[in-house]
Structure 1
Amino acid sequence: MRKIGVLTSGGDAPGMNAAIRAVVRKSIYHGIDAYGIYQGFSGLITGNIKKLEIGSVGDIIHRGGTILQSARCEEFKTDTGQRQGLACLEKHGIEGLIVIGGNGSYLGAKALSELGFPCIGVPGTIDNDIPGTQYTIGFDTALNTVLDAVDKIRDTATSHERTFVVEVMGRDAGDIALWAGLSGGAESILIPEEPYDMEDIAARIENGVKRGKKHSIIIVAEGVASGAEFAERLTEKTGLETRVSVLGHIQRGGTPTGFDRVLASRLGAKAVELLMEGKGGRAVGMEDGEVVDADLLTVLNKPKHIDHNLYQLSKELSI
């Protein structure tokens, strides 16, 4: 292996820069040239590729977003687009590619792998919805961003004696909502993986009011409903004044936590090691504190399950 490429694709996540840094410096340490592919698979098709040096990734470990930028690319979903991308890699003499991103990014890596080009997937998404790893790069930072917001919203909720509905990101995965709700002491948590009962939620709030509780926080994952729609239904049910906060894209930004920086560094380095060993079509991850890798196709076909014990615990503690 003489030349390795790296790109970020899909939604950005805090810690992606730390992963890029690890890929570049691990490669150079072993005498391998590192190439950055800008603007994801779109940049791969157009040949937006530059050689990266040690200094190219200096002072980025603490920065959110991705210095390689990201873009969604419909063209790369076609056979023509994939072969154009492959031709660009071959033109630059790149022999292996590391793709940092979520499910859509993994599909792109799989397509190139099926064309015979070695690719390694690195899980970078705040949603924590990639199988084969307990944690994805960016999840911990997003969780702490949400938690900070919930703590501040609780101050206002207490002052005005109101119920607040907080809508968080996660697409069809409920990890951000679940972890933020449990660690933030939310009265109710709504996630796509579990059904909810409006009667039960209303009863919880009303019982709290009867015993003198002045406020409530409800966390709603975007894959369940919009915060505004749910708040309207809740007000109709309880008659209580309800406010909504949609946290939106602040959850994707910000300085990555120490956990995300270490996770990204370990996973990025492992991806380089796999390419050096002549392996492709793999995805790296973290399981029980250890860096692991698995077949990329197996990871894509394997569902990611929510921790139902955590969900049950959140219900028991929010009585």
Structure 2
Amino acid sequence: MEFVLLGFSDTPNLQWILFGVFLLIYLTILVCNSLIILITQIDPALHTPMYYFLGNFSFLEICYVTVTFPRMLMDLWTQKGHILFLTCATQMYFFLMLGATECLLLAVMAYDCYVAICNPLHYALVMNHKVCSQLVAASWITAVPLAIGHTYQIFSLPFCASHTINHFFCDIPPILKLACGDTFVNEIVVYVVAVVFIMVPFLLIVVSYGKIISNILKLSSARGRSKAFSTCSSHLTVVVLFYGTATITYLQPKSDQSEGMGKLFSLFYAILTPTLNPIIYTLRNKDILMALRKLLAKVSA
């Protein structure tokens, strides 16, 4: 059995333009995140917990976009959207696993900011290399059973109606719309999992930033406050972008979400946010910019 991904077939005159735009975006994401990984590895000044997490986050972003982009580009190129049942399930599994890992890793990065600003004297002790590695590993491993269970639950449903998915990848809301019978229990499971893996990490991030902001306001020096806030402002911007669109997509009732709006929000968290993330981290971070200049100087020498 197979599904048909409609993708952007409702705009046939723009297929080749979209292919060029999305290919450029995909290559930009790959190059920018690869550069961040490279400089965090080779520059000794960036061998700190914050940049260790950033390097892992960049690797995660490369994996995250690779789940959807190549398939979407192929469908635009061939103007066919046929996808096998098993391939669709595999794509959903990796998308859910990597998305949940991103939620958890963003919470870990918020905790790192909290320790750096609110407990600086014990920062090196608390955020040692072993702890950092364990936090990253836990973020990846915890997401695996969630993705397996969720994917199995969705694809165990009977699909006896249309097999046409009005989307550009196999996401939960459009797949649920194709299922026969009552999907109320499945929707409840989606909400519960979304609350656990989206809202709980988000609440941890909110608590961390509440304490961070409270601590920053207590600083007497305006320069100190500016430096402290700039340390975490990039991360906070990424959190707002990612969580805003993901929350709207997965916590909104299926009946209230139009297919067009669902596709639009998916474009934000699956494409636009990963595109903006490396730009946000590089443009707002002096250490990253300095490391990039060093690297370019070595390459051009």
Band of TM-score, shorter chain: under 0.3
User: Normalising to structure 1: TM-score of the pair?
Assistant: 0.23
Larger radius of gyration: 1
User: Normalising to structure 2: TM-score of the pair?
Assistant: 0.24
- Name the structure where strand makes up a greater proportion of residues: 1
- Name the structure where helix makes up a greater proportion of residues: 2
